[in-house]
Structure 1
Amino acid sequence: MNPAQIKLVQDSFAKVAPIADQAAVIFYDRLFEVAPSVKAMFPSDLTEQRKKLMATLAVVVGGLSNLETILPAASALAKRHVAYGAKPEHYPVVGSALLWTLEKGLGAAWTAEVASAWTAAYGVLSNFMITEAYGRPQAAE
């Protein structure tokens, strides 16, 4: 990721932050729509999970300028997700649901450049997490 992409991700996330809970609802609705089998990995009441998702995204987005500060937490998160039943093939599905959510939440502010920046950010983090959890890189976009 280059500095311009990082700024696009951070600036666009700042626009989503005020509607964080709504964005999280949209995300999980979309995730369960496109991958119904993953719903069993989550609690029936997603209130806390939605808060965790948005808090984690805020930390990651805030740390993009200095990746080394967020990689230990990303590694731990990846390893915890293995225990929940997450598999490498889930990462592209989650990424797709995230990008779809951001597109809906940002409306006209979702440009090709913003989409490209978020795709790059998700790719970097998800590939790192897959490698940390499973020991081998896989394409995740």
Structure 2
Amino acid sequence: MQKIERELYKYGDLKEQAREIEEDIREFAAKKVEIVDSMLRAPMMDRVRVQGGQPSDPVYDVVEKLVDVYDAQIAEASARLKEIYTQYERMKERIVLAGLDEYERRYIKRRYVDRISHMAVASEIGYCERQLSRIRASALKKITGKR
């Protein structure tokens, strides 16, 4: 397998990784909102005096720490998502700038992003496998810049 094909398969994986991270972020945010909401509904405890005379609400302190944990998880996931989008856009731009024709673009999308077998793509496009192999080779050459 050529290096460019590995990169194209990775390109297809990036879309799925982004979807998973977006789902994680939604879950973290929902948990954070749920914790804050439950705290707001909970009866306030009388402030407890701790050593040094500072008033403290132990429930509030725990909730505040949990919110901070979820904020950190959301920030970390957002940073990963940004990197994935950057990689995805770089490869997408590379494909666009390669000047692929309609069949080459379709082959790249169906084979590497959608992960459909070479034979299935050939059948879908209406070409024999040999012709599709030529389309594949032409597309890969264009993407790598070797014309």
TM-score tier (shorter):
under 0.3
TM-score between the two structures when normalised by the length of structure 1: 0.27
Q: Which has the larger radius of gyration?
A: 2
TM-score between the two structures when normalised by the length of structure 2: 0.26
Determine which structure has greater relative contact order: mean sequence separation of CA pairs < 8 Å that are 6+ residues apart, divided by chain length: 1
